[in-house]
Amino acid sequence: MRARAIPAAIVLALVAGLWIFLAGRALAENYGGLSRTQAARVEHAIAAWFRTDAAAMRCIAWRESGLNARAYNDDDWPTQSVAGVFQIAWPVWTPANPNVTAQPRRYGWVLRFWHHRAPTWLEFRQRLANPVQSIRLAWLLYRHEGGLRHWGGAC
């Protein structure tokens, strides 16, 4: 009986490990899976940050991520990937972009948001998984770099 218990435990551990790996991957690139309460909180935060263009930004957030702050797309990694409610590009909007560090007067807002430190892709995703941080970075981008044009204009 004991001989059968060990292989069964190993199989169970392998299945559990595979499930955790696949569930984590599905959750990470999942553009749905958001409760109504979570979606309402994200919509409320968008309205608070983007007062005059809140309706357009809400529509853009629905289109980009389904209001899911954990949504990301790393299919083009390592050259460019996107994350957060508004699917903001990494490393374009980080100090890792040479243009950002070369033009501190123009891109000082990027340097301050990231505390003058270039985040890795994982750090970028983790910070933008917080809806408030994701919306805040989008608001800074909207304010300093030409409004809605980075998301293809109005919805």
| Residue 148 scores a pLDDT above 70 | yes
| DSSP code, position 83 | E
Q: Is residue 104 domain-resident?
A: yes
CB atoms within 10 A of CB 113: 19
Q: Is residue 22 domain-resident?
A: no
State residue 106 phi and psi, 5-degree precision. -80, -40
Q: Is residue 113 domain-resident?
A: yes
pLDDT, tens only, 29-73: 555 678 899 999 999 999 999 988 899 999 999 999 999 999 998
**Based on the structure, what is the number of domains in the chain?**
1
Q: Is residue 12 domain-resident?
A: no
Which pTM value belongs to this model? Answer: 0.76
Give me the domain span that covers residue 49.
31-151
Per-residue pLDDT at 8: 63
| Helix, strand, coil percentages in the chain from 3-state DSSP, rounded to 5 | 60, 5, 35
